[in-house]
A and B are shown apart, each in its own frame.
Chain A
Amino acid sequence: MDFIITFLNGLSLGGVYALIALGYTMVYGIAKMLNFAHGDIIMVGGYVLFVFVGLTGEPILAIILAAFLCMLIGISMEKAAYKPLRGASPLAVLITAIGVSYFLQSLAQIIFGAAPKFVVIADLGTITLGSLVIPVYSIVTLVVSILIMIGLSLFIKFTKTGRAMIAVSEDKAAAQIMGINVNNIITVTFLIGSFLAAIASVFYLLKAPNISPTFGSKPGIKAFTAAVIGGIGSIPGAMLGGFLLGIVEVFSNSVPQIAPYTDAIEFLILIIILLVRPTGILGKKRREKV
């Protein structure tokens, strides 16, 4: 019975990781950069929720506002910090992303202080199915994240913008020649990524209602790991990697002897998978043309 609950929790954590990993993977695929500051968007979402749940007491309104503000921050960081560097060395972009991440974290610390803040969006309680006591947030998280992933897949497959995104990720120059506005597509990508991060922050706070300036670092790095495991640049890969990592994490944490080593285990899995498949599970193997 414990097994089922653990598995469900693993899936739900995996769903959250997958949402964040999608942000990493889409930005990587389209803008060809590692957005190190992506995790901090989650933190921004968390503080927005903290402020507006406290202010209005309306969770739904706060969630909408959080999504909106995260998207705003997402595109402003893209425009201010990354856009001037388009065409520059990828390492330069990576360092800038690190700078943005520092910036957001320190800004949050100045405004809200270093001490964790407490915010309850909603107490969803548990439901009992026979002998199973299931936390409702797990189910909500899992269901909503799966719905969002389906929606995103449909969006990419069937809308003009979505197909343009695929085109840009395949070949930026060719897409540009075909009349696609690459800058707009990159902006849309950041919008979607930031929206997903905002949703992830809601799920995180449902599970553990504490928020601090470094709130986003750990989920960020874990989701990044998930994206790489699945094959960075691949959308199904991010989902697969997210669920895989979530399940590993929850199961590893459920055994007291190995729980302290959970992080090490996850990173070890990453290294092993990359050694076996250098571009991740679903990543396309590309041969360098000689």
Chain B
Amino acid sequence: MKKKFKIKHFINYIVVGAATIIFTILNSVGVLGLSEQFLLEKIAISIILAVSLGLVVGFLGELSLGHAGFMCIGAYIGGKVASLLSESMGNGFLTLIIALAVGGLSAAVAGAIIGLPALRLKGDYLAIVTLAFGEIVKTLFLNSSEETFGGPIGLETPRYDRNSLFIIGFVVVLIMLAVIQNLIRSKHGRAITSIRDSEIAARATGINVTKYKLLVFALSAFFAGIAGVLFSYSNYRVQCTKFDYNYSIEILVMVVLGGMGSVNGSIIAASLITFLQIQLASILTGDLAVLQNIFYALVLILIVIYNNAPALKGFREKHNLKSFISKLFKKKKEDPSEVRDDEAKWDRVPTKINMDELLSMDIKVTESTMKPDKGGKE
């Protein structure tokens, strides 16, 4: 049994690693064109963004709508560092590493700062503060002078060698997976998920909630910042209008569609959505491009309703991807008692935007009475 878990643990490293190697080989043979390289860069960036946001939303249980803001900081600061250094040191690997580090760290500092209100605010209120933060960051860069960050026309950044940037992107993805998954699957990760499940109980059990909230916000922002630096290397120009709250929401959508609290889900959703977006954007042009958005919006609504509508519970249990796949492979149904807490199902994961809890002070007649088998819980 232990062995089986081990393979399950490493499956995402294996898949991402294999993909990296395959694409590297394909690239060296010359099969990959410019557009494929660009697509792979974007996919790596999306995976980093989605998995790092998933750490906050799925594991800490706080809603953040300002992830693009951290990315924006990383893109501008990292891009600036890169363009300054490339004058003296050249646009090489060392410059890239320094830019990644500086961009990531400055975003992490911002993340820790935005983590401070998280200590006092909960749920929607924290969500709106993160949203406000993202917009503030955007406005500040928009109004920067031309010499510093380029103001409204944006910051010109050096484009990294196309043949290796996407490989670097995927290596960063692997490193991030190692950091985030090792964190989650440790005592610190347990502390973080305990805060998600019940902050009051976590405090009463001696968990330093302040420390862990700041840690998670900073770490998540750090990787968002790194994604920003990669973004600036992937484009010739960084413009802050790109990083508005719609972009934050796009990342959130990847996390939600992938399944809350599921790292693998975030990876799959981020890759698929980015792939579809870029492919559709090249097929549909002009006003037709919005057909893609309509499609996207409808799929989003339908998936969320399918996944969450209380009335569809029976339907969902009969027809889902898991049972479909196990039917395909004629595998036995998974024992539900083996669900591990780092893979907790999304319909069970509470997030702290529990408005009923926020707004009703007394004993609630919600969940406990609706699920008869659970007795007088909460």
Contacts and interface: CB of A to CB of B under 8 A. Distances in A.
Nearest to A276: B120
Taking chain B's interface residues, is the majority helix, strand, or loop, or is none over half, making it mixed? helix
Interface stretch (B90-98, B270-278, B363-371): B363-371
A61 to B, nearest CB: 29
Contact of A99 (B304, B310, B350, B358): B304
Interface residues on chain A, size class:
35 or more
Interface stretch (B155-163, B177-185, B285-293): B285-293
Contacts of A290: 200
Contact of B256 (A33, A91, A105): A91
Contact of B291 (A88, A92, A110): A110
Interface in A28-76: 28-29, 32-34
B143 A288 contact: no
A279 B121 CA distance: 8
A174 B309 CA distance: 23
B138 to A, nearest CB: 8
Contact of A100 (B142, B291, B297, B354): B297
B29 interface: no
B312 interface: yes
A102 B247 CA distance: 12
A57 B117 CA distance: 51
Contacts of A2: none
Interface of A is mostly: helix
A270 B132 contact: yes
B308 A89 contact: yes
A98 B300 contact: yes
A161 interface: no
Contacts of A267: 132-133, 135-136
A89 B356 CA distance: 10
Most buried by B among A89, A96, A228, A289: A89
Nearest to B358: A286
Interface stretch (A129-137, A203-211, A258-266): A258-266
A173 B365 contact: yes
Contact of A88 (B132, B309, B359): B309
Contacts of A286: 358-361
B297 A102 contact: yes
Given A32-B356, A84-B312, A91-B353, 10 more contacts: A84-B311, A94-B63, A95-B253, A96-B300, A98-B300, A99-B300, A103-B297, A114-B290, A267-B135, A275-B120
Interface of A: 28-29, 32-34, 81, 84-92, 94-96, 98-100, 102-103, 105-107, 109-110, 113-114, 169, 171-174, 221, 224-225, 228, 232-233, 260-261, 263-264, 267-268, 270-271, 274-275, 278-279, 286-290
15 contacts: A34-B127, A84-B305, A90-B123, A90-B353, A90-B355, A91-B353, A92-B307, A98-B252, A100-B297, A228-B125, A264-B139, A274-B129, A275-B117, A286-B359, A289-B363
